[in-house]
Amino acid sequence: MNICLKKSALFLVIFSALFLGACSDNPKKKSNKSLFESGYGEGDGSQVEVIGAGGQGNIDGYNVGLNEDGSIGIDPSELGADLEPIIYFEFDSYIINDKGLSIIKHYAEILEENEDEAIVLLGHTDERGSPGYNLALGEKRAKAAKESFMLYGIEDKRIEVITLGESQPMIEGSNEMAWSQNRRVEIKIK
């Protein structure tokens, strides 16, 4: 039994590697024209282990290997801090300020010039308040950003909205400096 399980695990590792290899060779991507760092939808593969409770010793779970990565990998130094593709918000607010609008305008212009590119807007909140409410607030922020992109002429279908709520802070810490950085919408190339 153990040998059988080990073989299956090995199969998973190899299969994941092959699949990831194929993925990184995506011919549709034209990221060289973009100023965005492409950080969404690629990567090391997400996976979960499902485990049964109530047992002792080794438990046979199964492994669901997946292949999407929501990791956040922006390097603002490449972009110039003023134009980093992040829009910041006040606490419990989804109103986009003038700075946010100018950032959206800048990236909307890039999207106009790169008609094949699509974006995903990742909505985040700070850690305060309840996680379920923050999940909804993150979506409101991302949708507010999407509406602004649409006002600048970007088509609905080129903009995906994903909320991550309070689950993925940019900066760890329980203080206003960290919170102000974490209340954000990130603009990512798809």
Partner 1 sequence: MKKNVFVIALFLMFWQQLSLADLTIEISSSSDNALPLAIIPFDYAVGTKQPKTDVAKVIAADLFSSGKFKVLPNVRLPSLPSSLGDVDFTEWRDLDVDNMLLGEISMSKKGLYNIKLTFIDLLRKKEVISKRWENIYENNLRQVAHKMSDQIYQEITGVRGSFNTKIAYVTVKKVSGKKKYSLDIADSDGFNSQPLLRSNKPIMSPSWSPDGKNMAYVSFERGRSEIIVQSLNGKMRKVVASYEGINGSPSWSPDSKKISVTLSKSGSADVYILTLATKKLRRLTYNFAIETESVWAPDGNSLFFNSDRRGKPQIFQVQLGTGAIKRITFEGAYNSNPAISPDGNFLAMVNSSGHFNIGLLDLETSEFNIITNTYLDESPSFSPNGEMILYAMNDKGKAKLAIVAIGNSMTKILSTESGEVRAPSWGPFID
Q: Can you give the binding site for partner 1, defined by CB under 8 A?
A: 2, 4-6, 8-9, 11-12, 15-16, 19, 23, 26, 40-42, 46-54, 56-70, 92, 127-133, 135-137, 139-140, 161-165, 167-168, 172-174, 190
Cβ 80 to partner 1, closest distance in Å? Answer: 26
Residues in the chain: 190
Q: How far is the CB of 71 from partner 1 (least distance, A)?
A: 8
Question: In whole angstroms, how close is the CB of 69 to partner 1 at the nearest point?
Answer: 7
Residue with smaller CB distance to partner 1, 79 or 162: 162
Rounded to a whole number of angstroms, the minimum distance from the CB of residue 12 to partner 1 is: 4
Sign of CA dihedral 103, 106, 109, 111: negative
Task: Give the whole-angstrom CA distance, residue 126 versus residue 26.
Answer: 34
**Please, are residues 184 and 164 in contact by the beta-carbon 8 Å criterion?**
no
Nearer to partner 1, 89 or 103 (CB): 89
Distances (CA, A) of 136 to 123, 128, 150, 165, 182: 9, 14, 21, 7, 15
Angstrom distances, CA of residue 163 to CA of 39, 85, 135, 142, 166: 16, 16, 6, 7, 9
- 28 or 32, CB closer to partner 1? 28
Q: Which is nearer to partner 1, 80 or 157 (CB)?
A: 157
